[in-house]
Structure 1
Amino acid sequence: MADVKVRKIVVSVDEIFHEGGPAATVPLKRAAVLAVIENPFAGGYVEEIAPFMDALRPLGLDMAKRLIDALGGDPGVVEGYGKGAIVGAAGELEHAALWHNPGGYAMRELLGDAKAIVPSTKKVGGLGTHLDIPITHVNASYVRSHFDAIEVGINDAPRANEMVVVLAMTTGPRIHARVGGLKASDIKGEDGLR
């Protein structure tokens, strides 16, 4: 199986103090890491692509570690996460699906076996394509205060033969969350949902 060839990695961190309401005592941090990689399947249909997920695993772990470091180095502060991928025009949407396993399991492993499924999105697009990465609570997908999204994109990626793979994490709920639902403090942690 082909090695993962990385062209660049981008890390961004938002620090949100307020959105028009009172300033938070502790600002919300939202971070994303994007890796631009060569798509080894670009340019034609390849039947057997699943083994490439194993090649992507070390990249997933590296990216998850970069995110935790960008948020201060303590995995215990991470409360939300998500992932996604953008495939260049010479690829297909199924190539983005290769990121589900290595990206999601990397974050769950480094966060101490988080319970909730890692939400995901994907698309095919050209240079500068943006993607909204969905965010949910790391241990219970039904925690409404943590429903969020982080918009990502890189001006010179993906080229036709590339993919942009993305991981995202947050340190808490939306800064002024107040629409009810299951609270993080009430998570039972039995099924990743509640």
Structure 2
Amino acid sequence: MPEVVIRKRCLTVEEIFHEGGPVAAKPLKRGAVLAVIRNPFAGRYVEEIVGFMDDLKPLGLAMARDLAAALGGPAAIEGYGKGAIVGQAGEVEHGALWHAPGGYAMREILGDAKAIVPSTKKVGGPGTRLDVPVTHINASYVRSHFDAMEVGIADGPRADEILLALVMTTGARIHNRAGGLKASDIKGEDGLR
């Protein structure tokens, strides 16, 4: 399969102290790590592309390690999500190749994460933004951790590139009051509850 060629990487961390209510005792941290890579399938239809997922695994692991470290280490992480923006000479299916390498990398770094990693992808040009969905790492139904982080890079993806994104958070939304299953009540049986 093709070599993974990285043009640039970006890591960003937000600290959220309040959303109009009282200042939180501990701010929520929400972070994203992005990589802009050459799309080896740009400009043509290629039937067999699934092998490129194996090539992306080392990049996924490196990105997940860096992001977890920036947020205080794997033990601090409570939410996660992933996404991809495919440049205009590619197809949305090229972004789908990030599902396994991105998701499994985060689950490996975090140890015993049970919930499926939510994901989104689309085709777009330089400066395209993507809202990456976030859920709790062990139970997708924990409403307090339903979140999203907008990601993007001003000059990417170019037509022959893919922007790959991982997002992690350190807790529930600040001032969450939407009810539902609490993180403290997770049974951890199926990744849902």
Shorter chain as denominator, the TM-score bin is over 0.9
Output one character per residue of 1:84-106: Cα deviation in whole Å (capped at 9) or x when no partner. 00000000000000000000000
Deviation, 1:179, is: 1.1
Distance in 2, matches of 1:12 and 1:77, equals 16
Moved over 4 A (4+): none
Match of 2:21 in 1: 21
TM-score scaled by length of structure 1: 0.99
Alignment of 1:73-152 (within 5 A): 74-152=73-151
Match of 2:59, SS? helix
TM-score between the two structures when normalised by the length of structure 2: 0.99
1:59-95 deviation per Cα after TM superposition (whole angstroms, max 9, x unaligned) = 00000001011112x2111000000000000000000
CA distance in 1, matches of 2:143, 2:82: 18
Report what 1:48 is aligned to: 48
Q: 2: distance between equivalents of 1:176 and 1:112?
A: 28
Secondary structure, aligned partner of 1:110 = helix
Instruction: State the SS of the aligned residue for 1:15.
Output: strand
Q: Match of 1:35?
A: 35
**Counterpart amino acid of 2:80?**
Y
Alpha-carbon RMSD across the aligned residues, in angstroms, is 0.4
The letter for the 1-side match of 2:56 is: L
Unaligned ranges ≥5, structure 1: none
Task: Quote the Cα distance in structure 1 between the aligned partners of 2:7 and 2:127.
Answer: 15
The match for 1:4 is 4
What secondary structure, in the 3-state scheme, does the structure 1 residue paired with 2:111 have? coil
CA distance in 2, matches of 1:171, 1:164: 23
Give distance in 2, aligned partners of 1:88 and 1:50.
18
